[in-house]
């Protein structure tokens, strides 16, 4: 039996109880939202951190802050969760797909450069599996063409590039607290930025356009002493109700306090899988460039053995006691809806097409040595079975 209780301890219960005991009408006196945003900004070396209901709302809002709108194009990778591209569509813009690097499985800067047109407004690189793309190269392209860079770091908590933490390279960065992520509240998200104008827009856009909210500390919530007045002007811009609830903020705050521990266990899990496949020529792990530090949302491996079917490997892994693993998402532009709306010339990323069917995403959310050894041993047995 796999043990998942390590992800929650007494702090989550304590903080949730504090919110409930205080009552929702008066929860601002505790204000876990402000505490969460302050600590997140500190850990991710940003001036501002603004919480959200989920990690797709964050992407939509960041794009809107960058001025992305109808007629614009945003460069995205095809190999990732479709939320990245959906957020572009939410702005009325068009996603343009840049191919991936065959070894890191991440957006290729060379392909990004080839995708730039007069309509391009932003680049949205995704830190897939916990690994940052080549941000220096991507930022150089952005500077050349005056494009915004929005990091999609949903899977990358405390991953690093050239000694700096992921989330500090673009104009804005988006993080997710969905239940599979390093830290979670079931659903939630965060935008980080060090640009005060972006931060101000982000706060208002996520709060129904209320004019009396701000990115500045202590001004994240609607001031009740203002809104009781009959002549109070509320909505100064278009806005959505993307705010995180105080209950979710309390839970996430408890998780954030232990973020380093969660990341350390993910890395330990990945090390177990890496040891199991060491020396196996037909299993190729995601390449980690020397300037990068992977935070291992998942341990990604490409099955480079045409005679072995992906499903056969999966079934045998389960048979030997493994917890299963995931295939990579279908390339976004091959999903039925996107095939309808994306022109044919924008639906061809040959490296991604050759890679996606053979990827295996091993879960790393195990928090004890026994579970890690169980998964690693299942992988060793599976390899031995197919290696005979």
DSSP for 118-175 reads TTEEEE--B-GGG----HHHHHHHHHHHT-EEEEE-TT-SS-EETTEETTSSSSEEEE
3-state class (DSSP) for residue 355: helix
The confidence score (pLDDT) of residue 226 equals 74
The pLDDT tens digits of the residues spanning 218-236 come to 777 777 777 777 877 888 8
Q: Render pLDDT for 240-272 as a digit per residue (tens, 0 to 9).
A: 999 999 999 999 999 999 999 999 999 999 999
Q: How confident is the model at residue 29 (pLDDT cuts 50, 70, 90)?
A: low
- pLDDT for residue 27: 44
Contacts of 25-28 with CB under 8 Å at 24 or more apart are: 27/246, 28/221, 28/246
Higher pLDDT, 148 or 341: 148
At 190, is the secondary structure helix, strand, or coil?
Answer: strand
CA distance 245 to 220: 12
Say what the pLDDT of residue 215 is: 87
The mean pLDDT of 48-58, rounded to a whole number, is 98
C-alpha 126, offset from chain centre:
7
Per-residue pLDDT at 1: 47
For 81-101, the pLDDT digits (tens) are 999 999 999 999 999 999 999
154-174, pLDDT tens digit by residue?
Answer: 999 999 999 999 999 999 999
* Secondary structure (3-state) at 304: coil
Q: What is the mean pLDDT of the chain?
A: 94
Structural domains in the chain plus CATH codes = 5-258 (3.40.640.10), 260-387 (3.90.1150.10)
């Amino acid at each position: 039996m796999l043990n998942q209780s390590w992800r929650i301890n007494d702090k989550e219960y304590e903080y949730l109880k504090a919110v409930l005991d205080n009552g929702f009408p008066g929860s601002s006196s505790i204000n876990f939202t402000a505490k969460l945003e302050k600590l997140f900004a500190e850990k991710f070396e940003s001036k501002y951190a603004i919480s959200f209901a989920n990690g797709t709302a964050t992407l939509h809002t960041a794009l809107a802050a960058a001025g992305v709108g109808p007629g614009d194009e945003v460069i995205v990778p095809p190999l990732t969760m479709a939320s990245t591209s959906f957020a572009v569509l939410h702005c009325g813009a068009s996603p343009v797909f840049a191919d991936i690097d065959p070894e890191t499985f991440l957006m290729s800067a060379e392909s990004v450069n080839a995708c730039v047109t007069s309509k391009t407004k932003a680049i949205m690189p995704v830190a897939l599996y916990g690994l940052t793309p080549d941000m220096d190269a991507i930022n150089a392209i952005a500077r050349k063409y005056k494009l915004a860079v929005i990091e999609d770091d949903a899977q990358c908590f405390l991953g690093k590039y050239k000694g700096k933490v992921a989330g500090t390279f673009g104009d804005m960065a988006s993080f997710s607290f969905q239940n599979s992520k390093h830290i979670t509240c079931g659903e939630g998200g965060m935008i980080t930025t060090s640009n005060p104008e972006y931060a101000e827009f982000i706060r208002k856009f996520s709060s129904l356009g209320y004019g009396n909210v701000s990115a500045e500390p202590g001004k994240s919530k609607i001031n009740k002493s203002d809104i009781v007045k009959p002549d109070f002007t509320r909505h100064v811009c278009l806005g959505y109700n993307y705010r995180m609830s105080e209950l979710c903020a309390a839970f996430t705050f408890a998780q954030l306090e232990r973020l380093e521990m969660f990341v350390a266990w993910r890395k330990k899990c990945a090390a177990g899988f890496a040891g199991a496949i060491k020396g196996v020529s037909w299993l190729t792990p995601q390449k980690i460039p020397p300037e990068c530090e992977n935070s291992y949302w998942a341990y990604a491996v490409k099955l480079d053995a045409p005679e072995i079917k992906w499903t056969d490997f999966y079934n045998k892994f389960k048979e030997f006691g493994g917890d299963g693993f995931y295939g990579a998402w279908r390339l976004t532009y091959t999903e039925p809806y996107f095939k309808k709306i994306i022109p044919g010339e924008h639906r061809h990323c040959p490296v991604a097409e050759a890679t996606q069917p053979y990827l295996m995403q091993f879960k790393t959310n195990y928090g004890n040595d026994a579970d890690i050894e169980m998964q690693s041993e299942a992988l060793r047995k599976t390899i031995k079975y197919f290696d005979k």
